[in-house]
């Protein structure tokens, strides 16, 4: 058996109130039905201080996240739809867990243990975020566990072309310190590839644009990509490049740096260490 574990892969911290002890109650409600009649549930986690996170069983996706700013004002800081219908009509992975493999696999194929596996392509000539029907388009089972809600999905051998039956588990928790924590765990019954992540879109201000958000990428190098956004195998130095975000850089400044005329050809930021996004005026911080 192959086992993968990525604990505490992402955390949102908000600094609106002093930490205090409290329970993390969980409630469940209906979020509608899919066109085939399957029910979708919404689990709402709270830390008893006002911070709440709503996660649905379709894609194990974060639908809402209401968190305080440093003045104690609460706002929803994620993009989401009001009902399951909006997700079924098609959104760019809003809040979802993507897999079996997040990001792109070149030309929809890979080799493992001497065998070539071919995958459905859904992003030009490449396979993106698990394929035509990835984990974001599946119903996950959910249960209360470890002070939060654990979502489980079993991907069968051969699903979307991937080898091995893989059981993915994602635990969402809201802490007394106004943090959302996400932990990933996957087991497979034979060698496979896996790269799980959460695809939430954030606005830490709760409204308006994100141009005053600050980005820090604690990386010495980045991986240039080709025109299909596939890494070319090089680890290029960040120093002296438009991708030098080791100190706080506002999104507006980053956007100005990376206009088409200024951006080096066929390259994309892909830091290899920790990253952090913050909105200082709001006192909200996102790190992974």
**58-94 pLDDT per residue, tens:** 999 999 999 888 888 899 999 999 999 999 998 889 9
Q: pLDDT tens digits for 107-136?
A: 999 999 999 999 999 999 999 999 999 999
Q: 85: helix, coil or strand?
A: helix
DSSP letters, 158-206, are TGGG--S-EEEEEEEEE-TTSEEEEEEEEEESS----B-EE---B-TTS
What is the predicted pLDDT for the residue at 48? 87
Distance CA 226, CA 242 (A): 17
Looking at residue 48, what DSSP letter applies? Answer: S
**CA 159 to mean position of chain CA atoms:** 21
- What percent of the chain shows pLDDT beyond 70? 80
Q: What structural domains does the chain harbor? A: 2-198 (2.70.98.10), 214-287 (no CATH)
Pairing of strands 179-188, 166-174: antiparallel
Q: What is the pTM of this model?
A: 0.82
Q: 135: helix, coil or strand?
A: helix
Tokens (6 digits) for 240: 């002296």
């Amino acid at each position: 058996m192959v086992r993968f574990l990525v604990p505490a892969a992402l955390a949102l911290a908000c600094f609106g109130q002093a930490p205090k002890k409290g329970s993390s109650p969980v409630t469940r409600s209906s979020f509608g039905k899919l066109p085939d009649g399957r029910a979708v549930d919404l689990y709402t986690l709270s830390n008893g201080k006002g911070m709440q996170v709503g996660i649905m069983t379709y894609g194990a996706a974060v639908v809402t996240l209401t968190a305080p700013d440093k003045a104690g004002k609460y706002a929803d800081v994620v993009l989401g739809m009001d009902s399951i219908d909006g997700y079924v009509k098609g959104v760019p992975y809003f809040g979802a867990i993507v897999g079996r493999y997040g990001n792109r696999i070149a030309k929809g194929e890979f080799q493992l243990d001497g065998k070539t596996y071919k995958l459905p392509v859904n992003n030009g000539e490449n396979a993106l975020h698990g394929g035509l029907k990835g984990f974001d388009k599946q119903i996950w089972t959910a249960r209360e566990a470890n002070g939060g809600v654990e979502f489980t999905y079993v991907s069968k051998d051969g699903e979307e072309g991937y080898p091995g039956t893989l059981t993915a588990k994602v635990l969402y928790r809201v802490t007394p310190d106004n943090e959302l924590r996400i932990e990933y765990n996957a087991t497979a019954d034979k060698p496979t590839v896996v790269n799980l992540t959460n695809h939430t879109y954030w606005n830490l201000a709760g409204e308006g644009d994100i141009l005053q958000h600050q980005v820090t990428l604690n990386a010495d190098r980045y991986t240039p990509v080709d025109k299909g956004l596939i890494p070319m195998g090089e680890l290029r130095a960040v120093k002296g490049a438009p991708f030098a975000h080791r100190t706080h850089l506002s999104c507006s400044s980053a956007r100005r740096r990376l206009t088409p005329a200024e951006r080096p050809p066929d390259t994309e930021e892909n830091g290899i260490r920790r990253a952090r996004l913050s909105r200082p005026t709001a006192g909200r911080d996102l790190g992974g």
